[in-house]
Chain A
């Protein structure tokens, strides 16, 4: 009997801890979302923990009066550009690493990983000087180029893994039956790799969407969403916006990324696991 109760106790304790961990993650998000939609009176009423009345007023204001909507549009453009550029540059490189064996392959792989470790601020600050000269300052393209430098190592590594998992024999069969290497890549490898590539694109999107330092440094009037929010909300002393605006902002920033990753969640652990060795 004692063994069975011990077992039951262990199981309950286990689920309790898991529950706590999940709650610890989810509660702040739920709270912030709820508070972003509360009315002013509910928020400032110390007795009301979970608000009774809701309004979309503040979300609205942030989006249209305070420029968040512009920020969203800019972020989408930058993220899309980033995906396009990093995929154009990264897919050939990833394919090459996956399919060919050549001297220096490991060195190159290692250096790409090392480059990913490079701190972003170091890149951004001198970059603005260059951008001013090249008339790229305060442009979305400029930010996208910088973001690409950030995401490119990731894309190369991921695509090399994805292409590596497409069996060599499928491609060789295609080539035997008359396709060139390029043709076999387009007709055989790419379609098979599509799900993985789609997931990689989503992660690239999220990385660009969330990036704040470079975007803030490189833009003034054409800010991406995080940069825009930062300038509105910054600091306990500098934050002129009342609290509920902050939460509305959090909602706007978080929701798209969360949804995105929900669709790609199966790839999450495997993908991050792969990149880190």
Chain B
């Protein structure tokens, strides 16, 4: 009899323990690497990290990229999801096409956009051939840092909007058609329906999407590395550099911890400010 009630827990145990280990251990280890020196608590590694020129740039750029990219993605995804939610010919193929970027790694996405934006890339060739420009627009290279920023934004929006799109579309499909018909019957125009019914009912999905996107934006790495290298430092990139080139495990750990800390902070803020009260009450 006792064995029976333990069974569910036993089945979950391996997975749970595995995850706890792979999350718990690195966390503890990272704290150790970051905050000890010669076995004793020390803030020296922290100081070393913070005094590096690249650190503040990395922090700034990571946050800046997120602040620009995430809202654009959210807006685009909502527009696309609303459009795609009707029935029309070819709907399934369109959804597949819009979702392809989910299958593309950030490194591949970086390479693809390089082909679009390089001096001999698609964009430049088209613009030159229709006569809008006479010289190619340079997007890459240290002196074109602001353009590199733009390139990264373009590539990331292209790549990761699909994730937000899928989440929002799923949320949209869960809104029962009768809620919208009732609004129509009582006089609501398309925009009123959108504002008062659809968007409020999408709040949970928007919250999920924002949390996921922002958290991953804190970890942005491959795409920046490919398109701009260290011209545009980012937290994950610097951590990677410190680990693999400088071999300073302590500093790398600090970067990792800062990413984690920012993620938790932003996640908590989203949860607090995007609460949907109507989902929490019960009879």
Which of A's residues lie within 8 Å of B, judged by CB?
14-15, 17-18, 21-22, 24-29, 31-32, 35-36, 43-44, 46-49, 89-90, 92-93, 95-97, 100, 102, 105, 108, 112, 115, 117-130, 145-146, 148-149, 152-153, 156, 206, 209-213, 216-217, 226, 229-230, 233-239, 243, 246-247, 249-250, 253-254, 257-258, 260-262, 265, 268-270, 272-274, 276-277
Contacts and interface: CB of A to CB of B under 8 A. Distances in A.
22 contacts: A17-B83, A26-B97, A31-B115, A46-B129, A97-B8, A108-B12, A108-B16, A115-B19, A117-B267, A118-B23, A119-B215, A121-B236, A121-B240, A123-B22, A125-B239, A130-B29, A229-B107, A234-B225, A235-B229, A243-B120, A273-B167, A276-B170
Contacts of B249: 125, 129
Contacts of B115: 28, 31-32, 35-36, 243, 246-247, 250
Nearest to A248: B111
Given A31-B122, A92-B12, A121-B239, A254 B103 contact: yes
A7 to B, nearest CB: 14
Interface string B231-251: 100011001100110000100
B219 interface: yes
B193 interface: no
B112 A254 contact: yes
**Max chain A C-beta neighbours (<10 A), residue from B95, B108, B218:** B108
A235 B140 CA distance: 9
Interface string B86-119: 0010001011111111111111100111111010
B30 A126 contact: yes
Interface stretch (B36-44, B181-189, B254-262): B254-262
A229 B158 CA distance: 20
Contacts of A35: 115, 121-122
A269 B260 CA distance: 29
A68 B116 CA distance: 23
B243 A217 contact: yes
Interface in B19-67: 19, 22-23, 25-30, 32-33
Q: Report the interface size class on chain B.
A: 35 or more
Contacts of A265: 92, 95-96, 99
10 interchain residue pairs of minimum CB distance: A235-B229, A273-B170, A210-B105, A126-B29, A149-B22, A96-B11, A250-B111, A93-B15, A257-B103, A100-B8
A93 B11 contact: yes
A93 B8 CA distance: 8
B142 interface: yes
Contacts of B33: 125-126, 129
A115 B174 CA distance: 26
Contacts of B105: 209-212, 226, 253, 257
Contact of A152 (B18, B32, B163, B253): B18
A120 B11 contact: no
Contacts of B257: 122
A42 to B, nearest CB: 10
B243 A43 contact: no
Contacts of A149: 18-19, 22-23
A243 B83 CA distance: 37
Contact of B219 (A21, A31, A47, A121): A121
Contacts of A90: 15
B242 to A, nearest CB: 9
Nearest to A30: B122
A196 B249 CA distance: 41
B25 to A, nearest CB: 7
Nearest to A100: B8
Nearest to A112: B19
Nearest to B235: A121
A35 B105 CA distance: 19
A46 B120 contact: yes
B270 to A, nearest CB: 11
Contacts of B240: 121, 213, 216-217
Contacts of B231: 235-237
A122 B14 contact: no
Contact of B116 (A18, A28, A108, A261): A28
Contacts of A273: 166-167, 169-171, 173-174
A125 B252 contact: yes
